[in-house]
Amino acid sequence: MCRSIKRLRPTAGSDEPHATSEEIEAAALQFVRKISGFQRPSPANSGAFEAAVQEIAHISTHLLADLKVGARSK
């Protein structure tokens, strides 16, 4: 889908740092751009666009915090 969005979850056993808030917001921005079809929204749409970016970044932060790295399904 969004090829420029990189995986933000570290893999099990790696020394990768957790994603920064800037990386999460950049991924949210790319996602909203992709689904809205706007690179830069018009002034009439900018409020909705920015609100979506912030909400997606917020929930993504919670998702990444709640994921168990290296967890196996049962």
Q: What is the pLDDT of residue 74?
A: 59
Question: Between 44 and 7, where is the model more confident?
Answer: 44
Answer for the pair 8, 23: CB distance below 8 angstroms, yes or no. Answer: yes
Answer for the pair 2, 31: CB distance below 8 angstroms, yes or no. Answer: yes
- Terminal-to-terminal C-alpha distance of the chain: 29
Name all contacts of 42-46 with Cβ < 8 Å and 24+ positions apart.
none
d(C-alpha 50, C-alpha 14), whole Å: 33
Q: Is pLDDT above 60 for 59? A: yes
Q: What is the pLDDT of residue 31?
A: 94
Which pLDDT tens digit goes with each residue over 15-54?
Answer: 677 889 999 999 999 999 999 999 999 999 999 999 999 9
Q: For residue 2, what pLDDT band results from cuts at 50, 70 and 90?
A: low
